Every structure is written in C-alpha cells, then in structure tokens.
A and B are shown apart, each in its own frame.
Chain A
Amino acid sequence: MSRDVILGRIRAAREALAWAAPQGAEPGTAAPASDALPALPPAQRFPDIVGLFVQRARQVGMLVDIVASPAEAARRVASLCGERGMRRAAAWATPDLAALGDVLAAQGIEVLAPGSSVEQVATADLGVTGAEWGIAETATLVLPSGPQQPRLASLLPPVHVAVLAADRIVPDLHALFARVGFLPSALTLITGPSRSADIGLTPVLGAHGPMEVSVVLIRS
C-alpha cells in the first residue's frame, strides 16, 4: 500500500539523514530535526486599523462606503441597485443581513436565497454577503461558508458587496489566525476583485469572479 511505502520512505530518509548529518546545520540546509515548533510573529500594531483597511482596500480596487448603522448599510446597497438598474441579488441569509434583504425586496429586487440553483445565482446582478473579519494590512475580507452563507454569492455575480463591521477588523494575518477558532468547510479570504494578468501582462478584472467588490463598512 502506497501509504506504508511513503511513510516508510520518510522514516528511512530521516534515518539516512541522522547518519549523514554533519555537526551543526550549514546555512541553507535544512536544520536537524527539532521538536520545537518555531515561534510565530506577533500581530503588528497599526495606529488606525480601520483607516488602514480603507486606504488599502482602495489600493486593491475595492470601493469602500462607510456607514453608521446596519439600516444605513441596507439603504446604501438598495440605492446602489437602483442606480445601476440591478434586478436580482444573491444574498446571504444570516440574521444580520435579514433587514437588508427586506429592504431590497421592498424595492422590487429579486433576492435569491441560499439554496437557489447555481444557474440562477449565475444570472444575479449582485452578490450580497457579510464578512466575519476584515484584515487591515492587506485589506482582506474573510468569509466563512455555512447554511445561510453560500460560497457562490461572492463569486458568480459580477458585483460583490460585503457588509463588514468596523470592529471586526484585525491588524494582519497573524492576528486573524490567532482568532480563528471554528473552521467552516470553506473560509475564504478575499482581497479585491477577481483578476488576471495572464494575457499580455495586462491586469484584467473579473477573470472568473466579480469585477467589482464593494465594502459597506459599518462604523457605529
């Protein structure tokens, strides 16, 4: 069985190495087996992580709207739909986004609930999601999957709007991983719109996913 073959090879490699190991690791060669896991860098400290998030989000091509309340966030998303003539939205159905869905529906926008067919979601003009965390250093949105949090809502529609609470912004990746406890089937880190520079080194947005990502930042 390949499993035993491979594990056997790994152990044989370690033994061979123990015999061959010169005194002390040379620079550039793997160190001898150590049982201690290396310490990880502490989270960085930034004076204004919300400001940093906003600044860097704009640098990676995300639009940021700062609002004062969930109700204002809902109005902001609804007016976006109105301005752009969007008719159909694929949305998360988490409790904090329920009011938003109602506002959109009241405006005559068809809201596709989780569980809608992928073909339907693919025809949506807009995907509306929350974000569990934001990362300031990299301007990253962190989206868990779940029964009310379809993965494809942030991926198939051409425009993705994420609602993020400012107090969920952490300084950097180190801080994020220090905080993540429960892992859903998919935890997705999103930094800007889908992009590719494969053709002629020219950056193109919306290679497969949304060409536009907006963050509605609730700073109460």
Chain B
Amino acid sequence: MSGPRIDMIGNARRALQDPALQQQLRRAMPSFRRQRDAAVAEVADWEYLRSTAAAIKDHALAHLDRYLTELEMQVAVRGGVVHWAADAADARRIIVDLARRRGIRRVVKSKSMTTEEIHLNPALEREGIVVVETDLGEYIVQLAGETPSHIVAPVVHKSVEAVADLFAAKLHAPRHERPEELAGVARQTLRAEFLAADMGVSGVNFAVAETGTIVVVENEGNARLTTSRPRIHVAVMGLEKVVPRLADLGVMLSLLARSSTGQRASVYVSLLSGPRRPGEPDGPDELHLVILDNGRTRLLGDPDLRAALRCIRCGACLNICPVFERAGGHAYGAVYSGPIGAVITPVYEGLDRAGELPFASTLCGACAEVCPVKIDLPRMLAELRGRAVRAGHATNLDRLFARAWTLLMERPARLWIAGKIGRTLQRVAVRGRRIDRLPYPLSGWTAHRVAPPLATQSFREWWRMDRGGGR
C-alpha cells in the first residue's frame, strides 16, 4: 500500500555479498532446525497435534465474529477494556490517545510483531514518550536503529562482536565481549526502565474467548515484567489470535514451543485474565486489549489464502527455508519475512509493493512440512504468483518467455521444428557437449552452471526411428 516496490532480488544479492550476515545465518538456521527436529521427534503423535491445531484455528476463523465478541465480553467482565482497530493508523491512535489521557511518559515493550506491523514506536515517540524495547534482541535492534530480521530471533543477523560494538558505542559502558556480560549490561539497564515505566505494551500469542485470557509466551521474563509492573498494560493482538477454549492452549502451546525454539515448553507462559484484582500486590491497574484487523479480514475472505491466518508465528518456516537462510529476513523488506511473510505481505501491503516476494522461492515445500498448523505455503506462493501476473506485474521479459514457451509447446510440430533449428544454431556455443556461456537473460544460469545442449536426436525422434512411432 505504501513505500516503494520491495526489491527482493537486489536485497538477496546484497545479503549474499555480506560475509558477516552469511556467517550468522549459516550458523543459526541449521541449529534452529536441529533443535526443532529433536523436540518434534519426541512427540508421539505430532501429526495429530498439527491436525487438531489446524482444526481449532479453522473453527475459530469460521466463527470469528462470535469468538471475538465473546472474548470482548469476557475481558470486560474481568475488568479489561477492549479496543477495535480497523487498521494500523486506528491502532496507533487508540494507544497514543490512551497514553496521552493517562499522562504516560515512559513505555516498556515486550516483543510483538504486531506492534512492529503498526509502527507504534515512532507514533509514541512523536508524543515525547520514551519507548524502550525490553526483549534482548529487540533492545539490540532498537539501539542499532534497525528492524528485526526474524520473527522469533530478531537479531539473528548480528554477531556477538557487532553487539559488543553497539553496546560500547551506545551505552557508554566499558566494552564487554562475552554474551553473558552483554546480557548482564542489558539486564541492568532494562531493570531500571521497568521500574520507571508507567505503561507496558505487549503482543498476544493467543487469546482465549471463553475466559477472556491473554496468553503471552516468552523465555526472558521481560514480557512478565512488561505486563506486571507498569500501571497500565496494553496488549495488541491480530484478530486471528483468538482460540475458543482454554483447553485449546494445550495443543497450541505444545506446537509453538517445539516449533519455534525446540523447547518442550517456553520458559514463561503468562495467562492474563484482566488487570490486578482487589488485594493483589502487583499487576497492572488497567488492562487494554487492542484487536487489530489491518488486512486480516482480506485474508479471511480469500478462499485460497485464508489458512494463512492459522499462523502462530513460530518461525519454523523461516528456519527451514533455504532462501531465508541465504537472503536473511531483511531482504523481504517487510515486518514478516520468510515463506509466511512472502504470503501475507503481498496481501497486507499490496502486490504493487510486494509482488516480487512470492517468486523468491523454489517451491521446495519444506515450509509446509514443518508448519505446525499445516499452512500450505508453497501452494499459496504459486497462487500469488498467478495474481501478480494477472495484476500486470510481470516484466516484459517474463511475458515474452511465457508467450514464446506456450506457442512453442502448444503444438508438438512446433517443438519438433524448434528443436531442429536450435540444434543447428547452438553449434556456435557448444563446446565439448556443454554450453559455458549463454547470453542475457539466461546469463544468470551460466554464471553458476554450464548448460546442456539440445540432444542430437530428441526422444521423439528416437521413438519414431527406433520404435516406428506409436499410437
């Protein structure tokens, strides 16, 4: 919808030329995969869990109006306030207004892709409010003035040395080299922020309709601090996060922890049902839940892509994707990267801007195999490619190729004649039964491989000669 066209091809090329990034990715991604595989392997019936989760999500999506209004009522019964945000601007306005009315000066945030999506931080900062990201990775991203490059591991693109340099430069502290020292510095700095903040903003992993419970999953404890310490807690959820029953969490949490970080359980799962109650010594005085659409209902009404709303943001499709492993998350030019990003970004931000993303895949299918909620990502990518072409986003070269290929292949006689002509023409290029260099646009092929020549006798010619044709 906004911003220039995402140049995934150029972004990927630049990523491949960044040795530090390549080193990080090639170290991290295989290790994420191993952890996930080990955690999944010990579950007796993983497929049954996946199917159940997909069915729970599909059911919730089919009755989304009912479950969201039930959630709204149950949150209200427990003293929380529900806000509905049709788009990002709406969500920003709701949160900024609230902060203004309550005289908020300092906000702590726990990791939330949804608040990245609505670009909340700059909106609060324009009000003179100090916003501090408290997830260690997000904190580093914020200090560096960057964006997260992975939905679960936001600074997977940064080495220890890069973090050490950053901390030394930004925190005016003596330079530390070891991860535990650096984490200690962050812990100390952020502890002070928690004590000073008057508003905490978190994401939502799941929201339980029947109990009005907001579920926040994490490993560090910063989300617990964010949702417990400041006097106001604002939780921002995509509307697809609702599940009908508390007991659905048994399935969802098992899948999420194992798929995302290869843990049996995440270190902290907070089930928050309303603000602090009378007599309780801690917890927020106010709890606000912002339910965000921002393009999600477009997916909901899309028969081919709707299942993408099952996504629980585990990141398994990123971790297994050979393209992500080399291009990194930033190459996708959007908040959500990897296969799921290549599916939802074109819907959220438009094909004008993100039309290239669905093409950045070999459709190898590895993502669909690991997805804990069985989203058929390669099928959706192929579908979006069709839409991009129908919307006129194909290059002239692409159109020329498709026209020529179809004309050629539509009649066997044309293929036969073209083969004959090609075999004559290729003589200038073939050396030792291979072609070492092809002209543009096929030069991309011969940059990395030699090309095979057309065979001196095609199969169909052999069949005629050897078998005298058939049927």
Contact = CB atoms under 8 A, between A and B. Distances in A.
B44 interface: yes
Given A38-B52, A189-B265, A208 B221 contact: yes
Contacts of B269: 188-189
Contact of A37 (B28, B59, B153, B249): B59
A58 to B, nearest CB: 13
A191 B39 CA distance: 15
A137 B61 CA distance: 30
Nearest to A194: B221
Contacts of B183: 196, 199, 204, 206-207
Given A28-B368, A118-B282, A189 B219 contact: no
B319 interface: no
- Report which residue of B27, B266, B275, B310 has the largest number of chain A beta carbons within 10 angstroms of its beta carbon: B266
Contacts of A30: 57-58, 61-62, 306-307, 309-310
Interface string B244-268: 1111111101100100000111111
B264 A137 contact: yes
Contacts of A176: 250
A99 to B, nearest CB: 21
A151 B282 contact: yes
A18 B99 CA distance: 41
Contacts of A152: 228-229, 282
Interface in B215-247: 219-222, 224-225, 227-229, 239, 244-247
Interface in A105-155: 114-116, 118-119, 122, 135, 137-140, 145-147, 150-152, 155
B55 A2 contact: no
B250 A146 contact: no
Nearest to B183: A204
Interface in A151-206: 151-152, 155, 172-174, 176-178, 180, 183-202, 204-206
- Report which residue of B65, B190, B221, B239 has the largest number of chain A beta carbons within 10 angstroms of its beta carbon: B221
Q: How big is the A interface, by class?
A: 35 or more
Contacts of B307: 28-30
B110 to A, nearest CB: 10
Nearest to B306: A30
Given A177-B247, A177-B249, A189-B271, A207 B280 contact: no
Nearest to A115: B281
Interface string B197-209: 0000000000000
Contact of A206 (B64, B187, B244, B270): B187
B407 to A, nearest CB: 31
B270 A201 contact: no
B65 A11 contact: yes
Interface string B131-157: 000111100100000000000011110
A33 B62 CA distance: 5
Given A9-B297, A28-B375, A40-B251, A56 B68 contact: no
- Report which residue of A28, A116, A146, A184 has the largest number of chain B beta carbons within 10 angstroms of its beta carbon: A28
B250 A174 contact: yes
B306 A38 contact: no
A49 B238 CA distance: 37
A124 B466 CA distance: 89
Given A6-B291, A188-B224, A204 B180 contact: yes
A186 B272 contact: yes
Contacts of A35: 63
B179 interface: yes
A47 interface: no
A41 B271 contact: no
Given A177-B250, A185-B272, A185-B274, A199 B297 contact: no
B171 interface: no
A13 B267 contact: no
Contacts of A199: 136, 140, 155, 160, 163, 179, 182-183
A134 to B, nearest CB: 12
B213 A183 contact: yes
Contacts of A6: 68, 84, 86, 239, 291, 293, 297
B49 interface: yes
B412 interface: no
B458 interface: no
Contact of A31 (B55, B191, B304): B55
A208 B211 contact: no
Nearest to B221: A209
A186 B271 contact: yes
A185 B283 contact: yes
A174 B44 CA distance: 14
A68 interface: no
A71 interface: no
Contacts of B279: 146-147
B224 A200 contact: no
Contact of A38 (B56, B65, B78, B282): B56
A186 to B, nearest CB: 6
B195 interface: yes
7 contacts: A28-B368, A29-B303, A29-B304, A30-B62, A147-B279, A191-B265, A199-B160
| The 9 nearest A-B residue pairs measured at CB | A28-B376, A209-B221, A13-B301, A200-B160, A147-B279, A198-B137, A138-B265, A33-B62, A208-B221
Interface of B: 27-28, 31, 44-45, 48-49, 52, 55-59, 61-65, 68-69, 78, 83-86, 90, 134-137, 140, 153-156, 159-160, 163, 179-180, 182-184, 186-187, 190-191, 195, 211, 213, 219-222, 224-225, 227-229, 239, 244-251, 253-254, 257, 263-277, 279-283, 291, 293, 297-298, 300-301, 303-304, 306-307, 309-310, 368, 374-376, 379
Interface of A: 1-3, 5-7, 9-14, 16-17, 20-22, 27-41, 44, 56, 60, 114-116, 118-119, 122, 135, 137-140, 145-147, 150-152, 155, 172-174, 176-178, 180, 183-202, 204-210
